[in-house]
Structure 1
Amino acid sequence: MQTREFLNILHIAERLKDTVRHCTTTKRRQESVAEHSWRVALMAFLLKNEFPEADMNKVMEMCLIHDLGECFTGDIPTFSKTTEDREKEDKLFYDWINTLPSEIRNEIFNLYAEMNAQQTTESKIYKALDKLEALIQHNESPVDTWSENEFELNKTYAFDTVAFSDWLTDLRKEILKDTIDKTEA
């Protein structure tokens, strides 16, 4: 990869630092997509020993790149995102990916194909961590920043996504306890 190509990729990815999500931090600041992606990747790193059968380096790669499409569309909360929104994000993302040097284009394309298919252990771990991080962030944010639907969503969201793993199911249950404690306080 040429140095200019490398810098151009970073300049596009930098947009995620300024792309805010609907979640807030503990101190009431809206979090960025970049912050979310970083913590999802950190979660994967911390779980290396819990999933010895999985290629956790691949999971971390998935976590780092999973929201790159939001460089072009911004963040749309999962409960508001339509099929049209997904199609637009995918088109803009793949249009950009197709301009990248072949070695990185192919790697990103293959990772996204695996992530979207949700057939491998690695893709299932990535998807679970992505959803769980959002729940954890909600539990860390002040409850008065939650939208009305998030009170129920935080109790039910992602149980189906973690069902393939006893460890992640236990984590989801712990997150639920935190949600209940927070909303009852």
Structure 2
Amino acid sequence: MKQITNLLFEVRILKDIVRSGYAFLGSGKESIAEHSFMTAFICFAMARIDPDINKEKLVSMALVHDIAEARTGDFNYVEKKYSITDEPKAISHLTQHIPFGDDIKNLVDEFNSGETKEAKLANDADQISFILELKKMKDIGAKGPEKWLPVVLDRLQTDLGKKMAQSIMETGWDEWWMKDYSE
């Protein structure tokens, strides 16, 4: 139990590590844990829309997809040009004494390979999480999202991911709040 407790404390640090790409946008802020939660929730929704997916694998994959960043930090695409992270080593060390460590490693490996249906959907959910943030920033007047939205939308691989993103782009970020508004 002690190793699992240490894993929980280690994963908890993801709440404190800020995703680095927002500095380049000039606005916005999100922790890795906030991003992982949103990605997992998107996968939860995807798993209910597409009955032919392994629901547990999809949501679990999203939950652990950035777990190595507890040890490596979050590197955006510019930082990756100059710094090398060893994600497999980080995952190996993070999970080495955990009874379900191979489950975590296999999910991360599958996510990174991007070959299975679940991995493609989880990767799309990863991007959709960012699209939601960019769309909100765009709707409240930030300028950076105008440049980034086409790039991130172009990363989507699945029909389901593309449909979700299209609906996001057609919906105001606060539409849910204003629906049925009355004083």
TM-score range normalised by the length of the shorter chain: 0.7 to 0.9
Matches within 5 A, 1:52-67: 52-67=51-66
SS of aligned partner of 2:109? helix
1:157: which partner in 2? 152
TM-score by length of 2: 0.78
Q: Does the CA contact (< 8 Å) of 2:44 and 2:55 recur in 1?
A: yes
Q: Deviations over 1:130-176 (max 9, x none)?
A: 011111112223443x64xx4222123243433x32x3212222334
SS of aligned partner of 1:47? helix
For residue 20 of structure 1, report the CA deviation from its aligned partner. Answer: 0.9
Name the amino acid aligned to 2:68.
Answer: G
d(CA) in 1 for partners of 2:81, 2:64? 21
The structure-2 alpha-carbon separation of the partners of 1:131 and 1:89, relative to structure 1 and needing over 3 Å to count, comes to: farther
2:50: which partner in 1? 51
1:114: which partner in 2? 110
d(CA) in 1 for partners of 2:156, 2:92? 29
The structure-2 alpha-carbon separation of the partners of 1:116 and 1:29, relative to structure 1 and needing over 3 Å to count, comes to: closer
Tell me if 1:13 matches 2:6. Answer: no
2:161: which partner in 1? 168
Structure 2: tracts of 5 or more residues without a match: 173-183
d(CA) in 2 for partners of 1:72, 1:155? 31
Structure 1: tracts of 5 or more residues without a match: 180-185
Aligned-pair Cα RMSD in Å: 2.5
d(CA) in 2 for partners of 1:107, 1:84? 31
Deviating 4+ runs (over 6 angstroms) = none
d(CA) in 1 for partners of 2:86, 2:29? 22
- 1:94 is aligned, of 82, 91, 94, to 91
SS of aligned partner of 2:85? helix
Name the amino acid aligned to 1:13.
Answer: V
Bigger strand share = 1
TM-score by length of 1: 0.77
Q: Does the CA contact (< 8 Å) of 1:128 and 1:158 recur in 2?
A: no
Matched residue count: 166
Q: Does the CA contact (< 8 Å) of 2:36 and 2:63 recur in 1?
A: yes
Q: Does the CA contact (< 8 Å) of 1:23 and 1:137 recur in 2?
A: no
d(CA) in 1 for partners of 2:163, 2:57? 23
